[in-house]
Amino acid sequence: MPDAPTKSMEEIVSLCRRRGFIFQSSEIYGGINGFWDYGPLGTELKRNLKNAWWQDIVRNELIGPFGDPVQIVGLDSSIIMNPKVWVASGHVGGFNDPMVDCRESKARYRADHLMVLGAAEDGARLYAFIDNDTEQRAKAEKILLKYERREVLDAARHFVRAFTTLNADERARCVGPDAKEPGTLTEPRQFNLMFKTNVGAIEDPANAAYLRPETAQGIFANFDNVINSTRVRVPFGIAQIGKAFRNEVTPRNFTFRSREFEQMELEFFIRPDQAAQWYAWWRDQRFAWWQSIGLTSDNLQLREHDRDELAHYAKVGAGTSDIEYKFPFTSPGFGELEGVAHRGEFDLRQHAEHSGKNDKAKYFDQEKNERYFPHVIEPSAGADRGTLALLCEAYTKDESRPSGVFMKFHPRMAPVKAGIFPLVNKDGMPEIAERLHRELRKRHMCEYDPKQTIGKRYARMDEAGTPFCITIDSETLSAHTVTVRHRDTQLQEKMHIEAVSAWLDAQVG
Ligand code: GAP
């Protein structure tokens, strides 16, 4: 049996709902599978993540692997594009997942996410379960052992295999994860993940269009526009943050696999002979970035892809790696936060061929007087998965606190940077606290809270992950000091009220 995860996803989801980080979309109508809404705290958290990405990718001057400043510009392209874009990119033909339906339970599964447990005996039943789902696996083991009148699994007799390896006879003997009878799972069928819509008043196949499944193609389609409207020259990057949509067969694990989500993508255009250096540099840069915003535990890992895992656009033989996080629902395994891929010249060449405008997708090197397709290194991250990783990492149990738990966000990511409290609601303390709040909120998200005991106010801020609480007390009246309480250590320090603003600037970045 795999190790039990140390944090409970159920508790994290419950806190997210109770404190307004994440709600189910359209909850009052029973929700809609694969769609989520961010509440007041969640909106700030996700915005901090996206702002940090934009700040550190587009606004900060990075120094690249050859010692020169890295040029990156921004883009905000449309969600619906000419459908020919998606033919050229390979998404119409190849953006498919294998899908399996259960005729008995009516449930639908990703065929490549199903495993089967069976016995090495002709004609015996096989039991399917979803990979990494420890509960389902335990259920399959229990039924199999009961059926065989055995106590424990026997490595020589029992096996676990991927569902996709079963032949027709084995499928007929396989019991689905939510079924009682064998043979109710259909043969895997390919299912295109793009959401289709109709542009204009007339519903006609000629007017069909797609919601973008990645933001990247908006960047490739604007490659020539950006070069002609700016002074960027290879090597340079175009960055974009925006929504993407995928009609996932089985959205699950909270926001991890959603049907609507946000991506933070960078397409970095380089000379083909410099691909290895830029790839390694971006991979390491991106891994260090996730650490810099608080994913410092060994729950974060960098994994180079095996050759047979490469996406259709990835260049064979070149690097592709995933930055992964060990979520409570993937533990002891990891789930992808960001992919760093060497896409070669695939996309620009495809758009050149499909649009017939070769010159618009090729780069003209004025110094060398030659035209070529630049290669692309693509760090592509998920803002929702990133936010989920921040939530899971921050969730910290502490029975000694009234809240029983606190959210240990990096101060740069914390939705609320400081709570400002009058110790009591008299002697002019509320007025001083409100004045300080008005001053600090000009630059930082801060919350003024005059209600309940100070202990209860600390507890609320602990659950929100607020790194500092600033209390106006009797010494503020006599000595102009405030009491600053630190979330992680619960230690308190006195500070002159005039020093608070500059001190907070320095703490939260
Ligand atoms: N342009 C390349 C690309 O789209 P991807 O690995 O399919 O690559 C990039 O997606 C990132 O987008 C992933 O690492 C993940 O963080 C996020 N992502 C992809 N599918 C998602 C989904 N269904 N729900 C939430 N995030 C998703």
Ligand 1, CB within 6 Å, residue ranges: 214, 216, 246, 248, 257-258, 261, 263, 265, 336-339, 380-382, 384-385
Instruction: Quote the ligand 1 centre to 381 CA distance (angstroms).
Output: 7
Q: How far is the CA of 232 from the centre of ligand 1 (A)?
A: 27
The pLDDT of residue 33 is 96
Position in ligand 1 atom list of the atom nearest CA 322:
14
pLDDT at 363 over 80: yes
Number of the ligand 1 atom closest to the C-alpha atom of 251: 23
d(CA 132, CA 5): 12
Q: Which domains does the chain have, with CATH numbers?
A: 17-94+196-393 (3.30.930.10), 96-191 (no CATH), 399-508 (3.40.50.800)
Helix (H/G/I), strand (E/B), else coil: 200: coil
When pLDDT is cut at 50, 70 and 90, the band that residue 305 belongs to is: confident
Segment 21-30 shows an average pLDDT of 98
By most ligand atoms within 8 Å of CB, the mutation choice from 254, 313, 336 for ligand 1 is 336
Q: Could you tell me the two tokens for 297? A: 């535990």
Q: What is the mean pLDDT of residues 33-51?
A: 98
For residue range 231-265, what is the model confidence (pLDDT) as tens digits? 999 999 999 999 999 999 989 899 999 999 999 99
CA of 382 from ligand 1 middle (Å) equals 6
Average pLDDT taken over every residue of the chain: 93
User: Quick check: 1 pLDDT over 50?
Assistant: no
Instruction: Evaluate whether 498 touches 481 at the Cβ level (below 8 Å).
Output: no
Q: What is the structure's pLDDT at 2?
A: 44
Higher pLDDT pick, 123 / 468: 468
Beta strand pairing call for 71-74 and 36-38: unpaired
Q: Are 128 and 136 contacting, i.e. CB atoms less than 8 angstroms apart? A: no
User: What tens digit of pLDDT does each residue of 378-398 get?
Assistant: 999 999 999 999 999 999 999
**Which residue's CA is minimally distant from atom 16 of ligand 1?**
382
Q: What is the pLDDT of residue 157?
A: 83
CB-CB contact of 209 with 201 (8 Å):
no
Query: Within 10 A of 117 (CB to CB), how many other CB atoms are there?
Result: 21
Cis status, amide bond into 205, omega within 30 of 0: no
Can you tell me the mean pLDDT for 313-333?
83
CB 142 within 8 A of CB 175: no
Q: Output 17 or 141, whichever has higher pLDDT.
A: 17
Number of C-beta neighbours around residue 318 at 10 A:
16
Question: What's the pLDDT band for 312 if we cut at 50, 70, 90?
Answer: low
Reply yes or no on whether the pLDDT at 343 is more than 50.
Answer: yes
Closest ligand 1 atom to Cα of 386: 16
pTM (2 d.p.):
0.90
Rounded Cα distance, 52 and 37, in Å: 21
Report whether 113 contacts 250 (CB < 8 A).
yes
Q: How far is the CA of 104 from the centre of ligand 1 (A)?
A: 32
Task: Flag whether pLDDT at 221 surpasses 60.
Answer: yes
The whole-angstrom separation of Cα 30 and Cα 331 is 29
Give the model's confidence band at 307: pLDDT under 50 very low, under 70 low, under 90 confident, else very high: low
- Cis check: omega of the bond before 235, within 30 degrees of 0: yes
